Amino acid sequence: MSEITLKGNVIHTSGELPEMGSTAPDFKLTRNDLSDAALAAYKGSRIVLNIFPSLDTGVCAASVRRFNAIAEKLPDTFVLCISADLPFAQARFCGAEGLQNVETLSVYRSAEFGREYGVQIVDGPMRGLLARAVLVIEADGSVGYRQLVPEIVEEPDYEAVLEHLHN
């Protein structure tokens, strides 16, 4: 169980992020067209998992916009923005914002994702949503980078993610 804060108040997650160098847990999430997206579909490419509570918050929306701009400059890299939002809301947000370089995926049919990745919030007012985290899964399927944002109302450390991606 990891400890993070929400506006300074301690809350907990369901576990820990996958260990560096470990094989990333498989997942089956839901695309905007309601089809399934499995980790295996991205095999052989780098994958950035931008995990967050909901697009209905300013910080989450900002992270998706920022990763969309980053993704445009990353060849052979998929940026997956993962939240508990319904696929329809995710599609509406990306359409209204003109975001085409990221793929939004929903956990609404896959509660096990939050538990297996250690990011499901288990107490406090956001219980059941996902904590803010970024993982980079390397082309071989291993976890090459991980970041659990300690204060949920803050954005990820984009520079640290970019530094890893450019090495």
60 is catalytic: yes
Question: CA dihedral in degrees (18, 71, 157, 24; nearest 10)?
Answer: 0
Residue 124, Ramachandran bin (φ over 0: left; ψ between -120 and 50: alpha; else beta): left
Options 4, 29, 60, 81, the catalytic residue: 60
Active site residues: 60
